[in-house]
Structure 1
Amino acid sequence: MRLIFLGPPGAGKGTQAARIVAKHGIPQLSTGDMLRAAVAAGTPIGVKAKAVMDAGGLVSDEIVIGIVADRIEEADAKRGFILDGFPRTLAQAEALDTMLASKGLKLDTVLELKVDQSKLVDRIVRRAAEARAAGQPVRKDDDPEVFKTRLEAYNRDTAVVAPYYAARGQVVDIDGMKPIDEVTAAIEKALGAN
């Protein structure tokens, strides 16, 4: 089961990915986590990434794809994986397809959490308040102004990825505004159909 989660920040991708991980035993792959791990491990691609980051640059799509390619070779990803927050651009989506094809793999499903973006700020403010009330740290990106900037970046750069996969018949739309358990049930239904 090789999946991609798409949707704007605050749509619930992380929450739903964690549930899939728990139920299906496949890893959720975050490019940020993979990048830090590759740098820490000193892998060849991690060394390249470290040099770029140390120079203050953005890691290229080629390096990110290399890190994903290395990570999906690990034992825990043999049965599948969830890509959350990647691909972020059309170029990354195309490079991911090429890399997977070179390994004889393909994506099974692209799940897009559809949400009312005008209500996302309220969701983020509520999430921050719940974290404070529970004595947990509040995520830096749960600041409404930071969140609005992230949402603008998503709409500018990443929203084009869904039509790319939709043209291939791979996207399943999920209503991300429903209660969490209903979203999970809709995702499980979509996964059962594939």
Structure 2
Amino acid sequence: MINIVLFGKPGAGKGTQAEFLKEKYNLTHLSTGDIFRFNIKNDTDLGRLAKTFMDKGDLVPDEVTIQMLQSEVDKNPHSAGFLFDGFPRTLAQAEALDAFLESKEQSITATVALEADDNILVARLLERGKTSGRPDDQDEEKIRNRYDEYNQKTAPLMDYYKSQGKFHAVNGIGTILEVNERLNQIFDKL
């Protein structure tokens, strides 16, 4: 079983690349952002709670995110593997994910970070915000707050996964196909 963590700042292309990767490698794509947006759209308790944090550009608390993700993994017991998109975002989430997967006699195979310049990503998100309707993509201050959150809470995961020999950085700038080819070079070796 292959379990991959795909991370990078908002706008780095995780969701776009995940669509290609899940098809090619037969993985179940679990995007915390998509799961939260589904719950918000359907006005679930989790959705209302997540929305209070997301509207400010803050991360949803670990315990809420971890329970939600575990539930999604449990819904797919026959999966060939998982592509975790947007999770883990903190060291506590990474440790909880490792413990959860270990309880299922699994582990993270690799982590891949899509890296790109903040100014390029801000421009991408503001452009996406014109059509997505997402308020968190329409306000540069909220976008930059998300990047601050990422730098403080998510960037330390690089060292966590490097210490396990599971971290790979990929240049996230270029055409969709160029970035996809860079990712395939890593995935094909797993």
TM-score, structure 2 normalization: 0.79
Deviations 1:94-132 (A, max 9, x none): 11111111110011110111112232222333444xxx5
> 2:78 and 2:151 mapped to 1: Cα distance?
30
Residue 175 in structure 1 maps to residue 177 in structure 2: no
Give 1 or 2 for the bigger CA radius of gyration.
Answer: 1
> 2:147 and 2:65 mapped to 1: Cα distance?
22
CA contact (8 A) 2:28 2:80 kept: no
CA contact (8 A) 1:5 1:13 kept: yes
Q: 2:143 matched to which residue of 1? A: 147
Q: 1:69 matched to which residue of 2? A: 70
For 1:6, the aligned partner's letter is F
Unmatched 5+ stretches in structure 2: 54-58
Identity score, percent: 35
CA contact (8 A) 1:115 1:177 kept: yes
Q: 2:13 matched to which residue of 1? A: 12
> 2:109 and 2:22 mapped to 1: Cα distance?
16
Aligned residues: 181
Unmatched 5+ stretches in structure 1: 40-45
Q: 1:116 matched to which residue of 2? A: 117
For 2:162, the aligned partner's letter is A
3-state SS of paired residue (2:66): helix
Q: 1:43 matched to which residue of 2? A: none
CA contact (8 A) 1:3 1:83 kept: yes
> 2:20 and 2:155 mapped to 1: Cα distance?
24
Shift of 1:71: 1.9
Shift of 1:61: 3.0
> 1:32 and 1:120 mapped to 2: Cα distance?
17
Q: 2:180 matched to which residue of 1? A: 184
3-state SS of paired residue (2:74): coil
- Cα distance 1:38–1:117, how it changes in 2: closer, same or farther (>3 A)? closer
Task: Choose from 163, 166, 177 the match for 2:162.
Answer: 166
- Cα distance 1:151–1:77, how it changes in 2: closer, same or farther (>3 A)? farther
Deviations 1:146-170 (A, max 9, x none): 2112111111211111211111110
Shift of 1:76: 6.9
3-state SS of paired residue (1:162): helix
Deviations 1:54-101 (A, max 9, x none): 9x7997534433332232233376211111111111111111111111
Deviations 1:27-78 (A, max 9, x none): 2212355468789xxxxxx98x68x949x79975344333322322333762
Aligned-residue CA RMSD in angstroms? 3.2
> 1:142 and 1:53 mapped to 2: Cα distance?
19
Q: 1:3 matched to which residue of 2? A: 4
> 1:68 and 1:121 mapped to 2: Cα distance?
27
CA contact (8 A) 1:26 1:77 kept: no
Q: 1:87 matched to which residue of 2? A: 88
> 1:79 and 1:137 mapped to 2: Cα distance?
31
